[in-house]
Amino acid sequence: MIGSLNVPALMDSTDVFIFDCDGVIWKGDTLIPQATAALDTLRQRGKRLFFITNNSTRSREGFRSKFIELGISVAADEIFSSSFAAALYLQQNPLPAHKNKVYVVGQEGISQELELAGIPSLGGAADSDKSQVWGPGAEVDHDSSVGAVVVGMDTCINYYKIQYAQLC
């Protein structure tokens, strides 16, 4: 027993455990003490494990690499990130053929998950070095076949991306 939590009863009655990643499995690039031991115990007992994160900067494969670097073996299909959720949503709710592209304000995780889902995208990291055109009559051409904008954490956000997303 831990406090009022009956751990043996919880272990016996639960088949699937879902963990947040940052602050539960790791903090930044540091493994949380005892995380590996806890996950190993659950796996030894035949429990299914899933890992969720609202961090969109990496794809599932990118997060899998981080787990491996920290000494934890996981499968990509055990990981659910916000970038994967966005791609899955758009895959299950297709955009119209004439507006089938996605503009990304974010990092590589979103673009990679969209690509894996077969959804054409533009922007993201590719627009990190672009700059806004200022002045009277300034205009930014944009792709009229963009039907959605997906926004995630973007450490290279700039006014160009904001304007392009708004135009889309």
Asked if 21 and 31 count as a contact pair (C-beta separation under 8 A), the reply is no
Is 143 marked active-site?
no
Asked if 114 and 87 count as a contact pair (C-beta separation under 8 A), the reply is yes
| Active-site position among 15, 29, 129, 141 | 15
Cβ atoms within 10 Å, residue 89 = 12
Distance from C-alpha of 59 to C-alpha of 113, rounded to nearest angstrom: 6
The DSSP output letter for 124 is G
DSSP 47-74: -EEEEEE---SS-HHHHHHHHHHTT---
According to DSSP, the residues that pair with 20 across neighbouring strands are 52
Q: Is 150 helix (H, G, I), strand (E, B) or coil?
A: strand
Catalytic residue annotation = 15
